[in-house]
Chains A and B, each alone.
Chain A
Amino acid sequence: MDLVFDRVNKRYEHREALSDLSFEMRSGEMAFLTGHSGAGKSTLLRLLLLLDRASSGEVSVGGRPLSKVKESRIAKYRQDFGVVFQDHKLLADRSVYHNVALPLEIAGFTKRDIDRRVRAALDKVGLLDRERAAPDALSGGEQQRIGIARAVVARPKILIADEPTGNLDPQLSAEIMGLFSAFNSVGVTVIVASHDLALISRMSQRILTLDRGRLITLGGVSRGINE
């Protein structure tokens, strides 16, 4: 699904979080979103998830203008997305398995399909052997991988992550970013917000840099310093 931001503004009471923001992403593309703290990265992702609405301008997803999505249709709209949060947002009173199964339950999959998909997703993040564990019993990196499994288990068209490596050491962070690239390589559109420049400049994907709500690089593919 293509993403189009067309002269988008987002104003909060005193400040403008996003100003005159225009860019496009093709279906199946991957991009990093970077910029200083308060630059507007989370705001941009929130508009995409309809957690908030643009003050002016239009965001379109798959050709559909989001200003036309009714409040009552937002839940359904979000089912096209997989979301990874910095704080994982795993539910403490469910096992790893049932955390990952949640999006499938919402979408109404059969028990058998849920079982197969949850195992496949856990296998992809390398944690199949922890399916019975409680999230609290896992390390931060493991929890984040469970969060990723939950984000991809329903095969979303777009994968969104806001600071997914915020609390992780460099090696784990690189592993997580590798997972995102892998999902992108099977056709999922991926947007990852991160201010870990050292990490993302080593990746080969496009980088969108925000500065005080404005887009300053429309960087195509970054140069790949380390190659």
Chain B
Amino acid sequence: MSNSQTTTAGIGAGPRSALSAWAHHHRQAALISVDKLLREPIASFLTVLVIGVALAVPSLGLSLAATVQGEISQIDAPPQLSVLLGQDASLEDADKLRTEILRKPGIADVKVVDRDSALADFVSATGLESLVQKLNRNPLPHTLWVYPSANTRLAGIEQLQVDLGSLAGVSQVILDSRWLERLNAFTDLLRTIAMVLGVVMSVGVVLTLGNTLRLGIEARRDEIVVIKLIGGGNAFARRPFLYTGLLSGALGGVFGGLLSGAALLMLDGPVKRLFDLYDQAPSVPSLILSELLVLISIGAILGLISAWYSVQLHLTRIKPR
């Protein structure tokens, strides 16, 4: 195998240039670390598994939160308010109230729904005609449907709900966006939990992988001593361990990606059903390549951090005697 970086070929050929030696050392160290991982396949697999799970859990939480929140933002906001008038309010009262509400800021439209057409709607929607016929009077009041202007935020709508409720003749104001609010709060919570878990699990990864690497360093103590005795520095001795950390982390990222991809597939059905109730037809995105790459990078970085911490703590302390 000829090497393009060979600079001198004579009998007294010395070490190659610093840069090419450095590149060669890295290639060598990477190969050694692959070899190490393959020599203990079960232990390596367990390490990768732990890292994978640790990465999959927060990633899954963040994916779900992002999906749900994305759907919420697509729902035609803002929702309407139903203003129920008192049983004794007349249609004229309703019209008067309509004009009054229309003068308020942030209102796009107000529609009067008289009690008879509301009942008719109810009957046609539910088919409960016989039940309605048994009633001796229409139980529904006149109702106003208030549409806030499109840019009104949820908090503003809630304020509006309070304002409308205090108007004379209004018995109740129903804001049918409670579920949205709850879902919003829930996804916020999900995201926060995912991030906290992410931090906790990252620390866990660094500690467990760091410990695994410590055992590797201890097992190779003799080799490290010999390397240092014959002129190898910490940089040379630690390189294979850094690569082992990097590689385990990256493989953990791949594994975590597969895990959370599989979980997202399984969650697709339930999430769809949830949104179908609200006339939305979203789908949970399957894991996309860019997310997989992010997971692999995070895994690799965590792996490198673990290795660095373990090496600084244990390998640099090994002094030949």
Residues of A within 8 A of B (CB): 46, 49, 51, 72, 74-79, 81-83, 85, 89, 91, 102-103, 105-113, 150-151, 154
Q: Within 8 Å CB of B233, what residues of A? A: 72, 74-76
Question: B228 is contacted by which of A72, A75, A105, A109 (Cβ under 8 Å)?
Answer: A75
B69 within 8 A of A: no
| Additional pairs, 5, CB under 8 Å, beyond known A111-B3, A113-B6 | A78-B230, A91-B223, A106-B231, A107-B15, A110-B16
Q: Which residues of B contact A78 (CB under 8 A)?
A: 228-231
A113 CA to B21 CA, complexed, in Å: 13
Closest 6 CB pairs of A and B: A108-B21, A75-B233, A79-B231, A78-B231, A106-B232, A108-B15
Which of A82, A105, A106, A112: most chain B CB closer than 10 A? A106
In angstroms, Cα B14 to Cα A75, docked, is 18
Supply 16 A–B pairs (Cβ within 8 Å), ascending by A. A76-B233, A77-B231, A78-B230, A78-B231, A79-B231, A81-B231, A82-B230, A83-B229, A83-B230, A91-B222, A91-B223, A102-B230, A106-B227, A106-B230, A111-B1, A112-B1
- In the complex, the answer to whether A75 meets B13 with C-beta atoms within 8 Å is no
Contact for B234 among A75, A77, A81, A108, CB less than 8 A: A75
- Of all chain A residues, the one with the shortest Cβ separation from B4 is A110
Q: Cβ of B225: which chain A residues have Cβ within 8 Å of it?
A: 89
Closest to B39 in A: A93
Q: Compute how far the CA of A81 lies from the CA of B233 in the bound complex, rounded to whole angstroms.
A: 14
* Smallest beta-carbon distance B35→chain A, Å: 11
Does B216 make an interface contact (CB < 8 A)?
no
- Contact indicator B230/A150 (Cβ below 8 Å): yes
> Do residues B230 and A103 form an inter-chain contact, with CB atoms below 8 A?
yes
Minimum C-beta distance from A154 to chain B (A): 8
Q: How many A-B residue pairs have CB under 8 A?
A: 79
| B28 on interface, CB distance cutoff 8 Å | yes
Residues of B within 8 A of A (CB): 1-3, 5-6, 9, 13-16, 18, 20-22, 24-25, 28, 222-223, 225-234, 236, 320-321
A51 partner residues in chain B, CB cutoff 8 A: 229, 320-321
Determine the chain A residues whose CB is within 8 A of the CB of B9 once the complex forms: 112
How far apart sit A51 and B320, CA to CA, in the bound complex (Å)? 7
CB distance from B303 to the nearest CB of A (A): 24
Is A108 touching B16 in the complex (CB atoms < 8 A)? yes
**Which single residue of chain A is at the shortest CB-CB distance from B21?**
A108
CB of A102 within 8 A of CB of B227, answer yes
Q: Which residue of A is nearest B10, CB measured?
A: A113
Inter-subunit contact A110/B231 (CB<8 Å): no
The residue of chain B having its C-beta at the shortest distance from the C-beta of A80 within the complex is B231
Q: A75 to B21, Cβ gap below 8 A?
A: no
Chain B positions within 8 Å of A75 at CB level = 228, 231-234, 236
Q: How far is the CA of A49 from the CA of B225 in the complex (A)?
A: 13
Q: Do A110 and B228 have beta carbons less than 8 Å apart?
A: no
Q: Give the CA-CA distance A78 to B28 in the complex, in Å.
A: 22
Structural contact, B232 and A109, CB atoms closer than 8 A: no
CB-CB under 8 A from B226, the residues of chain A are: 89, 91, 102
Q: How far is the CA of A35 from the CA of B256 in the complex (A)?
A: 63
* Bound-complex Cα distance A77 to B223 (A): 19
Q: Which A-chain residue is minimally distant from B5 (CB atoms)?
A: A110
Report the Cα distance A105→B32, complex, angstroms. Answer: 13
Chain A residues contacting B24 (CB-CB under 8 Å) are 108, 110
Bound: A112/B14 CA distance, A: 11
B residues less than 8 Å from A111 (CB atoms): 1, 3
Known interface pairs A91-B222, A91-B226, A106-B236. Does A112 touch B6 (Cβ–Cβ under 8 Å)?
yes
Return the chain B residue nearest A106 by Cβ.
B232
**Using Cβ atoms and an 8 Å threshold, which residues of chain A touch B234?**
75
- Which single member of A72, A74, A110 contacts B6 (CB below 8 Å)? A110
A74 to chain B: closest residue by CB:
B233
Whose C-beta in chain A lies nearest to the C-beta of B22? A108
Docked CA distance A82–B229 (Å): 9
The smallest beta-carbon distance between A75 and chain B, in angstroms, is 3
Inter-chain contacts of B6 with A (CB < 8 A): 110, 112-113
- Report the separation of the CA atoms of residues A59 and B211 in the bound assembly, to the nearest whole angstrom: 40
A106 contact set on B, CB distance < 8 A:
227, 230-232, 236
Cα A79 to Cα B231 in complex, Å, equals 5
Complex CA distance for A153 and B5, rounded to whole angstroms: 21
Q: Which residues of B contact A83 (CB under 8 A)?
A: 229-230
Report the Cα distance A47→B320, complex, angstroms. Answer: 13
Q: How far is the CA of A77 from the CA of B230 in the complex (A)?
A: 10
Whole-angstrom distance between the alpha carbons of A103 and B6 in the complex? 18
Q: B11 → chain A, closest Cβ, in Å? A: 8
Partner of A105, one of B1, B28, B229: B28
Contact of A108 with B231 in the complex, beta carbons under 8 Å? no
Q: Give Cα A106–Cα B234 distance, bound, in whole angstroms.
A: 11
Q: Given the complex of chains A and B, what is the CA–CA distance between A208 and B298 in angstroms?
A: 60
- Quote the shortest CB–CB distance from B159 to chain A (angstroms): 66
Tell me the complex Cα distance, A49–B229, Å: 8
- A109 CA to B5 CA in the complex, in Å? 10
A107 touches B231 (CB 8 A): yes
Chain A's closest residue to B11 (CB) is A116
